[in-house]
Structure 1
Amino acid sequence: MSRADTLALLGRYYEAFNAGNGEGMLACLTEDVAHDINQGDRQSGKDAFRTFLAHMDRCYKERLTDIVLMADEDGRRGAAEFIVHGEYLATDEGLPEAAGQTYELPAGAFFEVRDGLISRVSVYYNLADWIRQVGG
């Protein structure tokens, strides 16, 4: 896969994210995708990712802006940096109480690509900053 192909794949992934199109995001992933959740465990497989997306949709409403995509020359690895604009809709276990608080924070993600699909997604943001913003 070329660098341009990987950048296009990541672009489709984030376009689906901003459209609230979970199935569109899943279409960009391998069946055995590894998902490293910020400051959490690694989950494996599309079914686990689908469950994660349902949880996120219940607890958060998010939109990404200022997305910058990067990829290495052979298209096997990529990265993204962006700003998350969100609303905390329902209390997420172990986190502060939700009351519709809004937040804005920088975040990033790293990707591995195999056979034209994303095989790893690792997302990072400053959880302490998010907690301060939602009043925790």
Structure 2
Amino acid sequence: MPAATFDLIRRYYNAFNAGDWNTFFGLLTDDVAHDINQGGRETSITAFRAFIDRMNASYREQIVDIVISVSEDGRRAAAEYVVLGTYLKTDEGLPEATGQTYRLPGGAFFDIRDGKVARVSNYYNLQDWLRQVGA
């Protein structure tokens, strides 16, 4: 089970980096819980799709230097990574976008159910991001 979970998380980030959204969303449960960094929880694949659409409008990101850890029973996983990004379009309530680039350490925690991601909680340092984009 842990090897299958490791592979699931690896495929999740590979699909994200490739912009392969059909594969990406195929790895999630219909009722996926998404904990947004310093925000609330959204529940449903529909809400997650809307979130990704909003993100893709304002940011271009690649996730690199990924280290995946999996619990012995394969029901939980964590990933530590670095986000390489470009701020393309001003996001509501944030500084003006002028194509700034950023390099931001982050992490995510996952619950796995029936071979799919049932929860993802993302974390990064918002103050570091704000500093990097010139806030």
In 2, Cα distance between equivalents of 1:47 and 1:17: 17
Q: Normalising to structure 2: TM-score of the pair? A: 0.99
Deviations 1:38-70 (A, max 9, x none): 000100000000001111110000011100111
For the aligned residues, what is the CA RMSD? Answer: 0.5
Which sections of structure 1, spanning at least 5 residues, go unmatched? none
Aligned-partner residue type, residue 25 of structure 1: F
- What CA distance in whole angstroms lies between the structure 2 residues aligned with 1:54 and 1:22? 10
Quote the Cα distance in structure 2 between the aligned partners of 1:22 and 1:124: 21
Please name the residue that 1:63 is paired with: 62
> Residues 13-49 of structure 1, C-alpha deviation per residue, up to 9 Å, x if partnerless?
0000110112221111000000000000100000000
- State the AA in 2 paired with 1:35: H
Q: Tell me the matched-pair count.
A: 135
Partner residue of 2:2?
A: 3
Q: Which runs of 4+ in 1 moved over 2 A?
A: none
Give the conservation status (yes or no) of the 8 Å contact 1:22–1:53.
Answer: no
**3-state SS of the aligned residue for 2:39?**
coil
Give, as a single letter, the amino acid of the residue that structure 2 aligns with 1:119: A
**Counterpart residue number, 2:131:** 132
Q: Secondary structure at the match of 1:111?
A: strand
**2:95 corresponds to 1:102:** no
1:27-46 equivalences in 2 (<5 Å): 27-46=26-45
Gaps of 5+ in 2: none
Q: Secondary structure at the match of 1:53?
A: helix
Distance (Å, rounded) in 1 between the aligned partners of 2:41 and 2:23: 21
Report the alpha carbon displacement of residue 95 of structure 1 after superposing the two structures with TM: 0.7
Q: Aligned to 2:96, what secondary structure does the other structure show? A: coil
Q: Equivalents in 1 of 2:5, 2:57: separation in Å?
A: 30
Q: CA deviation at 1:117?
A: 0.4
* 3-state SS of paired residue (1:26): helix
